[in-house]
Chains A and B, each alone.
Chain A
């Protein structure tokens, strides 16, 4: 006897453990299979771009912390770079290196959380997540040493960083760099060839190279689809052109490749950190800029390879002490551009994994 099924409409989210925040997907399913899906944004929209227009340039730095809140350092960096470009502010060598160290530590935090929660979505229920969280906490301790904060660091300033590294920082960082490779090997033994991981993520949620480029996907998701595009290499900023590191890419563009690319990027971040620590110059860490200053009339766009992709700030100045317009090129929002194409035809349980493998942060999607 032939079975016929009705299409059912269900809401995934906005409060659902797998959405990593407040995000809703309106899913139409036929049996277990997704026939149509529509993302609904805006639950965390705080109007940061509008708020920035009412604040002085310096007052916007803490606002940028609250975009991708697991990657505050990178948001600080991208915003400060854009304002420095606009106003022609020079950064001392030591501060450039400190910024790279902070950005790479932040990338490790973000990737550990991204990988950990991806496996949570797969049903490992916090075992790998907490192995990764142990290391994440060690980095958080390091960042607390320099900034006094554990989540929203507000550490970078125009022309440098707010404080020099405290004395215990570099020994603690060296200790971390010695431990971390063995920890990554531990994750690999646990997960890399795990039967269930392979069965559930290989060839699932495939994103083709063409679709990824056409949909403005960036970061690890783009690289997992086989595109060698990393802003640190393609358009080097800070001092990334002085470091030796590779850009890992995937070949299939499936969930497994996205997880693999992130693991390899952890190793590359450690390589960059080792080189940055060994080359760290002495000297001052900031060229002081007045609290309220007026950049010349004009506009600037500056971008960095954030944890989730190309993070860019477009700032228009009208010559006053407040930005006339600030736009954030948010990788988390754009990485969802191909969500519909990636999810249709997959089962509901796969949709959770595919969505988790993109690794978004709602603070950045909604802004």
Chain B
């Protein structure tokens, strides 16, 4: 079974690099803000015993008060997983750092989120719409887009 990483292990590997106020736990996920995202990913990708080397998926959810970007990581070596969430309270101009330089697998998925949610990924190598064409009005997966409008 792919087990979820426990809070103790995550705390233990993050405490030297990231302030404990920069992230929190919610049920089985780690929640952080856009300022700490890249640092946390860097640490968890290389920390011995954790080595989250495989980014399974990146997606986003439009909640009433914020956008939430959800990352799911695995470690193929150790067969464990971690869900990481980044919240973006600024719904007018949401932007968070790209992790494509760390995980090539994030490339298309970040473009997909940019296309369908309008969340910008700072320092993404080629942030362009992926499914819809340039100039398409709006971002369909936002809740205020409406179906059929």
Contacts and interface: CB of A to CB of B under 8 A. Distances in A.
Interface of A: 41-42, 45, 47, 49-51, 53-54, 211, 213-217, 227, 229, 234-236, 301, 303, 310, 312, 314, 316, 324-325, 327, 329, 333-334, 336-338, 366-367
A41 B131 CA distance: 6
Interface string B108-128: 110010001000000000000
A45 B132 CA distance: 8
Interface of B: 1-2, 53-57, 59, 61-62, 70, 72, 76, 79, 83, 103-109, 112, 116, 130-133, 140-141, 145, 147
Nearest to B77: A213
Contact of A213 (B76, B109, B147): B76
A303 B55 CA distance: 14
Given A216-B103, A235-B2, A325 B140 contact: no
Given A42-B131, A42-B133, A337-B107, A327 B53 contact: no
Given A214-B103, A235-B1, A235-B2, A45 B108 contact: no
17 contacts: A41-B108, A41-B131, A45-B131, A45-B132, A47-B140, A214-B104, A216-B56, A216-B103, A234-B2, A235-B79, A301-B83, A310-B56, A312-B56, A329-B57, A329-B59, A334-B57, A334-B108
B105 A301 contact: no
Nearest to B147: A54
Contacts, number: 85
Contacts of A333: 108-109, 112
Contacts of B108: 41, 333-334, 336-337
B128 to A, nearest CB: 10
A329 B56 contact: yes
Contacts of B109: 333-334
A54 B149 CA distance: 13
5 pairs of A and B residues whose beta carbons are closest in the complex:
A216-B105, A42-B131, A235-B2, A327-B59, A45-B131
B61 A41 contact: no
A325 B132 contact: no
A242 to B, nearest CB: 14
Contact of B141 (A50, A229, A312, A334): A50
A325 to B, nearest CB: 5
B104 A215 contact: yes
A324 B141 CA distance: 11
Contact of A227 (B55, B72, B76, B79): B76
A214 B53 contact: yes
A50 B147 contact: yes
A337 B105 contact: yes
Contacts of A316: 61
B76 A325 contact: no
A221 to B, nearest CB: 13
Nearest to B72: A301
